Structure 1
Amino acid sequence: MRRLLLLSFTALGTTAAIAQTNPGTPPINQPSAAVAETVVTATRVPTPIERVPGGVTVIDRQTIEERGYQTLAEALVSVPGLSLIQSGGIGQPASAFIRGTASRHALVLLDGVPINDASEPNGAFNFGNDLLGLDVERIEVLRGPASSLYGSGAIGGVVNIVTRRAPKDKAIEAFGEIAGGSNRTLRAGGGVAGTVGQFDYLLSLRSLSTRGTDATPSRFTSDTRERDGFRSVGATARLGWTPSDRFRLEGLANWRENHGGLDNVPFDDPNYSFEDRRYTGQIRAEGKPFEVWTTGFRIAQTVDRRRYTNLADSLSAATTNDLFRGQRTVFDWGNQIRTPDYGILDQGQLSFGITHEREAVDQGSGSAFFRTTTNASALSTAGHAGYQIRLFQRLDLSAGFRQDSAEDYGTHSTYRLGAVLAVPEISARIRGAYGTAFKAPSLYQRFGVITGFFQGNPDLRPELSEGWEAGIEFDIPLAAQRDFATVGATYFENRIRDLINFNAAFTTLENVERARIKGGEFTATLRPFRWLNVSAAYTVTDARDVATGERLARRPEQQLALNAAFRPLDNVTIAPEAVFYGRSLEGAFASYRDDGTSYTVARDNKVGTIFNLTASWQVMEPITLFVEGRNLMDSKFEPANGFVIAGRTVLAGTRFRF
C-alpha cells in the first residue's frame, strides 16, 4: 500500500488537487441562482468555492439528471474519498465510508439539520433508503474532520442534502417525471412551486415501486432466486414569507415511507421485510439587524420509526418483530458578521452560535429469550465560532472552534484550521487543513440491555480523531481555452482513538481500539470541446487497526470513478459512468463459501466494476426524454460478501417543467 501511494503521488503530484465543486446551504433569503457560486456547509458562512480549504464535492441537479441517479447511494459512488457499500439493489442497506472512517462517522444533514437515526445502535446512517426526487436540488459532501462545525459524528465528513427552492420570478411552476422499466419498476414524481408577493411555496411528491432483485449471490447453493421488492413514497413542503430584504420566515416539512424485503445471509428469507418512516420538520427565521450582521434561529425535529418482521416459513422457524423509534430535536441560533476590510486584509467573516439538542430512543429487537431493549434520552448543548479572512487577495485563512457539553459524557472541544493559497501565475490553488472531531457513544451503546447477557456502558467516552490534508489543484489552458483541464491531488491522514467495541466477554462495550488511516484523492476534469466533458476520481486508502496492523473491513484499497457528458447535438446528452472497486477485507464469519458456510478468518472481497449509461433528449424547452441503464455489463460484484448488486436494469421516461 505504501508503494502504491508513492507511485500514485509521483504520477500526479506535479499537477495535484481537488477538481470538485464545493458544497453548501445558502442563506435562507439567498436566490437559488447564486448557489453554484458560494458554499456554506464547509464553513457555515457563504464562501466562494475557491476559498474552501477542505475536500468538498457538489452533485447538482443537472448532474443527478444527466447521470440518471435515482437514489442517494447511486449518486455518492463517484465522490472521491467515499466508498459506498450497499447490500444488494435499490432500497437495501447501504453504508458510506468517508476517507476510510467507519460508517457511523458520516454525519448526514437535510438542509443543514442532522438526520442520522438516533435509534440506530451505532448512530450510522442508512444511505440506501433515500430517493433523489425532484425536490432535491443538490448533494454536498465535505470530507475530513468537521465536528468544529457540526459536533458529534462528523469524524469522516458530512453529507448535506439540499432541497429545492421556489423560483422568484414565477407565480406557479409545475414540474414532474415518470419512468418505468426493468423489474416492473415505476418511478414518478412532481410538484408545484412559485412566489406570490411576499410569499413563496413548494410542494413535491415522489414514489418508486419495484419487485427488485435477489441480493443473495447465485453462487450460493442456498439461493432461491427470491426477489427483494421495494416501495417508497415521500413528500416535501416549504412555505416562506419575506416581508423585506432584512427578514425571512420559512417552514419545511419532509416525509418518506419505505417498505421492502431483506435477505438473511447466507440464506434467502422470503418473509423478512421492513418498513422505514422518517418525518423531518423545521421552522427558521433569519434577519439582518444591520447590514453587516445576519442572525437566525431554527427549531427542527426528526422522527424515525423502523420495524423489521419475519414470519416462520419452510426455510426457518425463527420469527422477528423488531421496532426502533428515534427522535432528535434541535434548537439552533447562528450569526454571521462581515468584518471591515483593512489594508492587506479583506473578505473577513465571523460566525458564532449555540446549538441545543435532545435525542431519544425507544427500541426493542430480538427474540423473547435474547431481546435487546433501549429506552433512554440525552441532552447536549454546544457553542461554536469561526473566522475566515483573506490576505493579499490570495491567501485565505480559516479557523473554527466548538465546545459540546453533554449531560452524560462530559464536555468535549474540537477545532479546525485551514488555508488556501491562490497562485494565479501558474493557475494553481494550494490547500491545507487540520482538525479534530468526535463521535459520542450512542444511546444504545450507553443504555442498551439484553437481560442476563449484555448491559450498555454509561461511562463510555466519545471516539476521538485528529486529521489533516494537503493538496494542490491546477487549471491547464490549451488552445486559447483557459479551463481545458483541471487536475489535482490531495493527501490525507486521520488517527482515531477510543473506538468503541465489545469487551472480551461480550457483556458490555469499552473504548478499546485505535485506527490509523491515510490515503490520496486524485481528480481530473477534461473539457476538450464544448460538447465533451470527462472526469475521473481515483482514491487510494490504507485504513488499519493500530494494535493488529490489519486492514479495516469494507474499505476498498482503490476506487476509480469515470464519468463523461457527451453532447453530439445541443439537445442530446449521453453520460457513461464506470466505477471500479479494488479489493477490500471482509470480517471473519462474514465471508462465505459457495455453500453458505463462513470462514473463521477474514477474507478479501473480490474486485468489481460497474458500468452505467444515461441518455437524455430535450425534445423541447420544457420536456426531456431519457433512458437510464444501470450495471449494463451485468456484473455479479459483491461490495459486501454475500450480497450481490442488482443486475442489468433499464428505465425510460420523461421529465418536464412548465
Structure 2
Amino acid sequence: MSSRRTEDPMRSIFLVTCAGALALAPSAWAQPAPQIQAPETVVTATRIPTPQDRVPAAVTVITRQDIEERGYRTLAEALRTVPGMRLVQAGGVGQQASGFLRGSASRHVLVLLDGVPINDPSEPNGAYNFGNELLGDIQRIEVVRGPASALYGSGAIGGVVNMITRRAPANTPFQAFGEVAGGTQRTLGGNGGVAGTTERYDYLFMGQGLSTRASDATAPRFWSNTGEREGFSGGAATARVGVRPTPTTRIEGLLRWRENQFGLDNVPNDDPNNEIEDRRWFGQVRGEAVLFGIWTTGLRAAVTDDRRRNVNLPDSLSPTRTDDIFRGTRETYDWGNRLDFGTVGAARDVRMTFGITREIESSDSTAGSLPFQTVTDATARSTAYHVGGQARFLDRLEIFGGVRQDEAEGYGGFTAWRLGATLDVPEVNSRLLLSAGTAFKAPSLFQRFGTIGTFFQGNPDLRPEESFAWEAGIESDLPAFGRDDFATLGATFFQTRFRDLINFNAAFSSLENVEDARAQGVELSATLRPAAWLELTANWTITETRDDATGAPLARRPRNAVAGLARIAPGGGVVIVPELIWTGRSPEGPFASYNDDGSSVTTIAYNKPGAVLNLTASWQATEAIALYAEGRNLTNSRFEPANGFVIAGRSLVVGTRFVF
C-alpha cells in the first residue's frame, strides 16, 4: 500500500516499552543472571551465542582491539580486508561506499546496529553507504557471509554486517575514556565519554567527531581535473542506559545520533559546490528476562530516521540548482526468544529460537528538477515469523537450521531457510563447514512507487529478488617449530544463483524482474604465528560472476582480491600493524567508465588493478595512556576502485587514547 502512514513512531515505542517492562519485571523470577558472553562468541550468525569456531557459517569478527590497532576510523576501512567483501568508494570519507559480498549486488548486503536493520528505506535500491559510519562507539563488527534471510529477512542475500555498540565496563562504577588525534590534510578527530556499572544500573554517554580537508577524489588522469578537495566534517553521539529490576531482568534504552557534511565530486569533472548533509537518528528500547532458568525472552522497539540533503549550486560547469531531500524512516518491533535445553539424549547444547518481527518502512523523497524530478512518497509494512534450532552431537558436530516467513503488503512475502553444520576433526586438527540456504531482497519503495517526471513509474507488482547459495569449507591448524598454533589454513568454496533481479524494462518507463545471474568462487586464508610476538594473516578471494542472459561479468566484482596484514608486538607495549590490500582488475558497465579526455566508454571496460599500503603503530605508554600513529596509502597510489574516482592520497595522523 502506498499511502502515507499517520502513526507516531515514538508513541508506538513508548507503548511497546511499557508493555515489555510490565511483562518482564516480576520479582518472582529469581533465576541466576545470564553470564556475559566471551569475546570470541558470535551471535549474528544464528541468533544463538556460539563460539566462533563452531558457527555454521563463514564469519569474520573485528574487535575493538582490532579497530584501534589497525587504525580504522570508518566502517568502509574496517571491511576492506574481510574475505569475499569488495568495498567500492566513489570518493573520500562520507561519499558512497558500496559493499559487494561474494559477488552479490551492493543492495544485497544487510547492515544491522545491535541486531536491528538500518538500511535507509529512501535509498532508491536499498543499498547501504558504508563510508558514513564512524567507529568510536562500536565495540565489534560481525560479518556473516552467505544467505541470512532466514534470520533477518529482506536484503541479506550476500550476507550481514552487524555493528555492535560499546557497553559500560563490568564492575566499574565510573570510567572516563577518550581519544584525540590530528594530522595531514588538516585532519582532526577524537572521541570521549563516561561509562559505569553498579549493581542495578549501567550507563554510557559519549561523543565523537572527525574533520578533514581530505584530497581530490577525481582521478588526476582527467585533462579537466582542477584538484579540488572534498572535505568532510562529521559528528556522532551515543547514550545507553540500562537497569536490572531483578537479577534475571534487564531493560535498556539506546539513542544514537550521527550527522555528516561533505563535498560530493563528479567525473570526469570536479564539482566545486556540490554538498551533502547526511543525518541519522537511531533509538531503541529493549527488555529481556530469563524465565524458569531456560527461557530468555525479550521485546524490542526501534526507530531509524534518515535524512539526506544534496545541494548543488550553479557554477561554471552547470547553470542548474538542485536541492534534493531523501527522508527514510524504519520502525522495527520484535519479540525474540531463546530456549536452552542443555543435554537432550545424544545431543548437548540444544537451543531453539523463535519470534515475530514487525517492520514499517517509509520514504518521502524528492530529487532533481522538472521534467526529470524523482519523487517517492510511500510506506510498506511486513510481518515475519522465524524459528531456528542448534545442537551439538558427539562433542564434534554442530548443526543449525532456521526458517523465516515474511508476510508483506504488495509483493506477497517470501519463505527463507538455511541449514548448516560444522564438524570438528581433532585427529587432523581441522574443522569442516557445510551450509546452504535461500535469501531475498524485497523491491524498494522507489522501485515499487517512485516516479521520474511523467515518463517513469515504479512497478508495484515487482517480485522479490531471490537467491539460493551453498558453501563448503575447511580450516586446519598446523603445528611446526615447536608451536602447536604455528599456522591456520582455510578454504571456503561458495556458489550463489540469483533470480528475478530487478532492472529497467526495454522502454525505460518502469522496472521489471528481468535478470538472472550467478556467482561462485573460493576464499583462501592463512595465518602464521612463527613467534609469540608476530602474527601474519592473508586472504585471497577468487570470484567469478556472470549474467545468465549475456554471459557478461557483473560490474565492479573483481576476479581476484588479496588482503594481508601483520601484528608485530616486540614488547614494551608497542604494536605495529602493516596492512596491504590488492585488488585485481574489475569490470565496469557501458557508459560507467571514462577516457582521459572525459569521454564515456560505450562498452564494458575494466578498471586497472591497484594496491594500497597502510601502517599503524601504537605504544601503551602507561596503563591508562596510549600513543599511536596511522599512515594511510603510504605509496600514494592512484588506484581507482570506481572508474574515475581515486582513493585518498597519502596521509599521516598521530594521536593518543586514554582510560581513567
* Residue identity in the other structure for 2:268: P
Inter-partner Cα distance in structure 2 for 1:216 and 1:50: 43
Contact 1:582 1:606 in 2 (8 A): yes
* Equivalent residue number for residue 347 of structure 1: 349
Secondary structure at the aligned position of 2:427 is classed as helix
* Equivalent residue number for residue 465 of structure 1: 467
Deviation by residue 1:339-360 (Cα, 9 ceiling, x = unmatched): 2413321111000000000000
Secondary structure at the aligned position of 1:212 is classed as coil
Q: Does 1:36 align with 2:22?
A: no
Inter-partner Cα distance in structure 2 for 1:183 and 1:622: 29
Secondary structure at the aligned position of 1:425 is classed as helix
* Equivalent residue number for residue 425 of structure 1: 427
Q: Does 1:72 align with 2:75?
A: yes
For residue 656 of structure 1, report the CA deviation from its aligned partner.
0.6
For residue 152 of structure 1, report the CA deviation from its aligned partner.
0.2
* Equivalent residue number for residue 107 of structure 1: 110
* Equivalent residue number for residue 311 of structure 2: 309
- Equivalent residue for 1:255, pick from 246, 254, 257: 257
Q: How does 1:81-480 map to 2 (within 5 A)?
A: 81-133=84-136, 135-480=137-482
Inter-partner Cα distance in structure 2 for 1:38 and 1:189: 27
Q: Does 1:558 align with 2:560?
A: yes
Inter-partner Cα distance in structure 1 for 2:199 and 2:556: 52
* Ranges in structure 1 where 5+ consecutive residues have no aligned partner: 1-28
Secondary structure at the aligned position of 2:413 is classed as strand
For residue 51 of structure 1, report the CA deviation from its aligned partner.
1.6
* Residue identity in the other structure for 2:209: S
Secondary structure at the aligned position of 2:65 is classed as helix
* Residue identity in the other structure for 1:84: L
Inter-partner Cα distance in structure 2 for 1:102 and 1:37: 30
Inter-partner Cα distance in structure 1 for 2:422 and 2:199: 42
Deviation by residue 1:377-423 (Cα, 9 ceiling, x = unmatched): 01100000001111111111110000000011113100000011110
For residue 316 of structure 1, report the CA deviation from its aligned partner.
1.6
Inter-partner Cα distance in structure 2 for 1:481 and 1:280: 47
* Equivalent residue number for residue 481 of structure 1: 483
Inter-partner Cα distance in structure 2 for 1:640 and 1:451: 29
* Equivalent residue number for residue 22 of structure 1: none
Secondary structure at the aligned position of 2:91 is classed as coil
For residue 289 of structure 1, report the CA deviation from its aligned partner.
1.6
For residue 165 of structure 1, report the CA deviation from its aligned partner.
0.7
For residue 31 of structure 1, report the CA deviation from its aligned partner.
5.9
* Equivalent residue number for residue 628 of structure 1: 630
Contact 1:553 1:584 in 2 (8 A): yes
Contact 1:344 1:393 in 2 (8 A): no
For residue 367 of structure 1, report the CA deviation from its aligned partner.
1.2
For residue 228 of structure 1, report the CA deviation from its aligned partner.
0.4
Deviation by residue 1:310-346 (Cα, 9 ceiling, x = unmatched): 0001222122111000000000000000124133211
User: Sequence identity of aligned pairs in percent?
Assistant: 60
Secondary structure at the aligned position of 2:107 is classed as helix
Inter-partner Cα distance in structure 1 for 2:329 and 2:417: 28
Contact 1:431 1:470 in 2 (8 A): yes
* Equivalent residue number for residue 590 of structure 2: 588
Secondary structure at the aligned position of 1:410 is classed as coil
Inter-partner Cα distance in structure 2 for 1:642 and 1:302: 33
Q: Does 1:50 align with 2:53?
A: yes
Secondary structure at the aligned position of 2:150 is classed as helix
Contact 2:34 2:248 in 1 (8 A): no
* Residue identity in the other structure for 1:413: T
Contact 2:450 2:457 in 1 (8 A): yes
Inter-partner Cα distance in structure 2 for 1:242 and 1:537: 43
Inter-partner Cα distance in structure 2 for 1:280 and 1:220: 40
Inter-partner Cα distance in structure 1 for 2:481 and 2:229: 53
* Equivalent residue number for residue 11 of structure 1: none
TM-score normalised by length of structure 2: 0.94
Secondary structure at the aligned position of 2:77 is classed as helix
Inter-partner Cα distance in structure 2 for 1:429 and 1:153: 29
Contact 1:409 1:459 in 2 (8 A): yes
Secondary structure at the aligned position of 2:69 is classed as helix
For residue 543 of structure 1, report the CA deviation from its aligned partner.
1.0
Inter-partner Cα distance in structure 2 for 1:451 and 1:221: 34
Deviation by residue 1:515-556 (Cα, 9 ceiling, x = unmatched): 110000001111111110110011000011011110000011
Q: What is the aligned-residue RMSD (CA, Å)?
A: 1.0
Secondary structure at the aligned position of 1:459 is classed as coil
- Equivalent residue for 2:580, pick from 578, 581, 589: 578
Aligned residues: 628
* Ranges in structure 2 where 5+ consecutive residues have no aligned partner: 1-32
For residue 47 of structure 1, report the CA deviation from its aligned partner.
1.2
* Equivalent residue number for residue 16 of structure 1: none
* Residue identity in the other structure for 2:43: V
Contact 2:372 2:453 in 1 (8 A): yes
* Residue identity in the other structure for 1:299: A
* Equivalent residue number for residue 601 of structure 2: 599
Inter-partner Cα distance in structure 1 for 2:185 and 2:413: 51
Secondary structure at the aligned position of 1:295 is classed as strand
Contact 2:173 2:197 in 1 (8 A): yes
Deviation by residue 1:230-254 (Cα, 9 ceiling, x = unmatched): 0000001000001333100000111
Q: Does 1:520 align with 2:500?
A: no
TM-score normalised by length of structure 1: 0.94
Inter-partner Cα distance in structure 2 for 1:115 and 1:103: 14
Inter-partner Cα distance in structure 2 for 1:508 and 1:30: 52
Inter-partner Cα distance in structure 2 for 1:342 and 1:107: 35
Inter-partner Cα distance in structure 2 for 1:273 and 1:587: 27
Deviation by residue 1:405-446 (Cα, 9 ceiling, x = unmatched): 001111310000001111011110000000000000000000
